[in-house]
C-alpha cells in the first residue's frame, strides 16, 4: 500500500504534464506567411485582427551599393487572411510599424514612409507621407496623432529631428491637415490622454541608434508643449495609466527605468528596473517586459510602483498582451551562426501564457521564433515572429484552460488504466 501511493502520484504527474503538452501543441490554429520569397532578414513587426480578419505586415531592409554609396531601403508587404487561415490578398506597403484595421475590411498601414490605405480586397486607396520615419500613431474617433523622427550625422555631431502631427481620418484615409509640432529630438511614441497628448522621445522598442537621450513631453490639444520630463535614456514604450502615463526607458543592454508621470508633468515616482521593451496596463496593475542582465524579465507593478511579482525568461521579453485573463508574453533573440563561411541569422524564441496575478507560467509554445508582435480578439491571438511566419493561437488552449472542461486524450486513458490496475492489485 505505501509503495503504491508514490506510483499513483507519479502517474498523476505524468498525466498532468502530458495533458498540458497536448493542450499547448493544439493551441496553434493555423500558420500564415508573408514575403516568404524575400532573401533579406525580415520580421512580422505588426499584426492586427478585427472581426475575424487577420492582418500581418512583413518588414525588411534592403541594402544597395550604387556609385560607392550604400543606400538603405525600408521595404515590406502587408497581407490579409480570413479567420480560418485562408489567404485573401497581399500588397507592397513599405516597412510596416503598425496596422489599424477598419470595420469595413479596409486596413490603414503605418509604414516608415507614412500612411497607406488598402481596401477590403487589398487594392491601394491612398497614401499620405510624413517628413521623417513614422514610428507610432494613435486614432481617437476621427482624430489622428502621429509621430515621426530621424537622426543625421554631420561633421561628427548628431542631429535629431521629430514631429507630432494632428490629422483626420476621412473616408478610411489619414489626412494630415491639422497642426504640426516640431521637436529637436527623435520622437517615437504617442499616447492621447484626457486633455493632454503624451509624446516620448528616443529610439523605440525594436530600433537602436547612436547617443543616449530621452524625454516625455506633455502637449496641449492646440499643439503647444505644456511641460517636459527628461529621462536621459530612450523612451522605449509608454501607456496611459491612472490619469497619467507610465514611461519605460532603455540604455545599453540591460539598464532602464520606469516613470509614472501625471497629466501636469510631475514625476509621481520612478523605479530602476531593466531595459524596457513593452508595457501592458490592465486595471490597477502595469506589466513591464524587457531585458535584464541575465535574460528576459517581466514584472507586475501596482499604482505606487511596488513590484508585485517578477518572472524571468531565457530571452528578451519583446511584447506583452493581456487576453482573457492571461498574459501573453513573446520572447526571443536573433542568433548568428557561421555556416560554410556565410553568416546566417536565426530567429529564436517562444510564446508564453502567464498568470497575471502571480506570474506563474501556465503554458508555452517553444521554438516558435523571436516573437515580435501580438494582437488579440475573442480568444484568438495573432503572433508575428522575426521571420516570414505568423500564427493564429487559441489563448485558452495555450494557458491549459481548455483541459478543465473535459477529460480526454491518450495520456488520460493510459493513466486511468494504469491506476485502475494498481487499485485492483492492492
DSSP 390-423: EEEEEHHHHTT-GGGS---SHHHHHHHHHHHHHH
Helix (H) or strand (E) holding 20: helix 4-25
> 335 near 285, Cβ under 8 Å?
no
Mutual angle of helices 410-425 and 4-25, in 10-degree steps: 170
Q: Which residue has the cell 501607456?
A: 239
Distances in Å between the alpha carbon of 116 and those of 127, 172, 173, 198? 4, 10, 8, 24
Domains belonging to the chain, first-starting first, are 4-425 (2.130.10.10)
Q: Which residue has the cell 475590411?
A: 105
Q: Which residue has the cell 472542461?
A: 405
The Cβ-side half-sphere exposure at 418, using a 13 Å CA radius, reads 16
Does the predicted TM-score (pTM) go above 0.95? Answer: no
Helix (H) or strand (E) holding 322: strand 316-323
- Pairing label, strands 114-118, 124-129: antiparallel
Residue by residue, pLDDT tens for the chain (426 residues) are 444 444 433 333 333 333 444 445 699 999 999 999 998 889 999 999 999 999 999 999 887 765 555 567 889 999 999 999 999 999 999 999 999 999 999 999 999 999 999 999 999 999 999 999 999 999 999 999 999 999 998 888 889 999 999 999 999 999 999 999 999 999 999 999 999 999 999 999 888 888 889 999 999 999 999 999 999 999 999 999 999 999 999 999 999 999 999 999 999 999 999 999 999 999 999 999 999 999 999 999 999 999 999 999 999 999 999 999 999 999 999 887 877 777 777 889 999 999 999 999 999 999 999 999 999 999 999 999 999 999 999 999 999 975 443 333 333 333 333 334 333 433
Distances in Å between the alpha carbon of 314 and those of 252, 348, 370, 392? 19, 11, 12, 23
Amino acid at each position: 500500500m505505501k509503495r503504491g501511493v508514490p506510483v499513483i502520484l507519479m502517474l498523476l504527474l505524468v498525466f498532468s504534464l502530458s495533458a498540458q503538452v497536448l493542450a499547448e501543441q493544439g493551441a496553434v490554429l493555423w500558420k500564415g506567411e508573408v514575403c516568404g520569397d524575400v532573401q533579406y532578414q525580415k520580421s512580422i513587426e505588426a499584426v492586427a485582427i478585427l472581426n475575424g480578419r487577420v492582418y500581418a505586415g512583413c518588414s525588411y531592409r534592403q541594402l544597395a551599393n550604387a556609385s560607392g554609396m550604400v543606400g538603405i531601403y525600408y521595404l515590406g508587404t502587408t497581407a490579409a487572411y480570413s479567420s480560418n487561415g485562408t489567404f485573401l490578398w497581399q500588397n507592397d506597403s513599405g516597412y510596416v510599424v503598425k496596422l489599424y484595421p477598419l470595420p469595413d475590411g479596409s486596413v490603414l498601414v503605418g509604414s516608415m514612409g507614412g500612411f497607406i490605405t488598402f481596401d477590403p480586397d487589398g487594392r491601394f486607396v491612398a497614401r499620405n507621407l510624413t517628413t521623417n520615419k513614422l514610428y507610432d500613431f494613435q486614432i481617437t474617433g476621427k482624430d489622428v496623432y502621429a509621430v515621426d523622427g530621424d537622426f543625421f550625422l554631420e561633421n561628427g555631431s548628431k542631429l535629431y529631428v521629430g514631429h507630432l502631427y494632428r490629422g483626420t481620418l476621412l473616408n478610411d484615409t489619414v489626412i494630415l491637415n491639422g497642426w504640426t509640432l516640431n521637436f529637436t529630438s527623435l520622437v517615437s511614441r504617442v499616447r492621447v490622454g484626457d486633455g493632454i497628448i503624451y509624446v516620448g522621445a528616443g529610439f523605440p522598442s525594436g530600433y537602436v541608434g547612436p547617443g543616449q537621450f530621452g524625454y516625455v513631453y506633455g502637449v496641449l490639444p492646440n499643439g503647444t508643449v505644456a511641460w517636459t520630463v527628461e529621462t536621459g535614456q530612450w523612451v522605449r514604450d509608454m501607456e496611459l495609466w491612472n490619469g497619467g502615463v507610465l514611461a519605460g526607458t532603455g540604455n545599453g543592454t540591460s539598464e532602464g527605468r520606469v516613470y509614472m508621470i501625471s497629466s501636469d508633468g510631475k514625476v509621481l515616482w520612478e523605479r530602476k528596473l531593466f531595459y524596457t521593451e513593452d508595457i501592458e496596463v490592465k486595471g490597477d496593475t502595469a506589466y513591464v517586459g524587457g531585458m535584464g542582465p541575465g535574460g528576459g524579465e517581466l514584472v507586475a507593478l501596482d499604482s505606487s510602483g511596488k513590484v508585485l511579482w517578477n518572472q524571468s525568461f531565457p530571452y528578451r521579453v519583446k511584447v506583452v498582451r493581456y487576453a482573457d485573463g492571461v498574459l501573453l508574453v513573446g520572447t526571443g533573440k536573433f542568433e548568428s551562426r557561421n555556416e560554410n563561411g556565410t553568416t546566417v541569422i536565426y530567429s529564436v524564441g517562444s510564446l508564453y501564457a502567464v498568470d497575471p496575478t502571480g506570474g506563474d507560467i501556465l503554458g508555452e509554445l517553444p521554438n516558435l521564433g523571436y516573437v515580435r508582435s501580438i494582437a488579440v480578439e475573442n480568444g484568438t491571438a495573432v503572433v508575428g515572429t522575426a521571420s516570414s511566419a505568423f500564427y493564429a493561437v487559441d489563448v485558452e488552449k495555450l494557458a491549459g484552460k481548455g483541459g478543465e472542461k473535459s477529460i480526454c486524450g491518450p495520456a488520460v486513458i493510459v493513466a486511468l488504466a494504469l491506476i485502475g490496475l494498481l487499485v485492483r492489485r492492492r
